[in-house]
Amino acid sequence: MATPNYGYEKRQKELAKKKKKEDKLREKAYRKLSPSTDGLAPGDPETDMASLERDPPTPPELPTKNG
């Protein structure tokens, strides 16, 4: 019976981990460079959907004729 090649297994795990990390960084950079589809920044209280549902924005006041 053949003995397990632990060095090979370890190297494969390291390569998979490295690839996953690179993919994650690439995706993060892509998200940072491209604008989001809805224009909302997560966690930003001005544009966060959860905060907008709690406190709907008030429309700006239109100037009146009297000034």
Q: Provide φ and ψ at 63, rounded to 5°.
A: -65, 140
Q: How confident is the model at residue 12 (pLDDT cuts 50, 70, 90)?
A: very high
The pLDDT value recorded for residue 28 is: 94
Query: Are the C-beta atoms of 49 and 56 separated by less than 8 Å?
Result: no
Q: Is the pTM of this model over 0.75?
A: no
Determine contact, residues 50/58, Cβ cutoff 8 Å: no
Residue 40: which residues within 8 A CB-CB, separation 6 or more? 47, 48, 49
Nearest to 49 by CA among 58, 38, 36, 37: 38
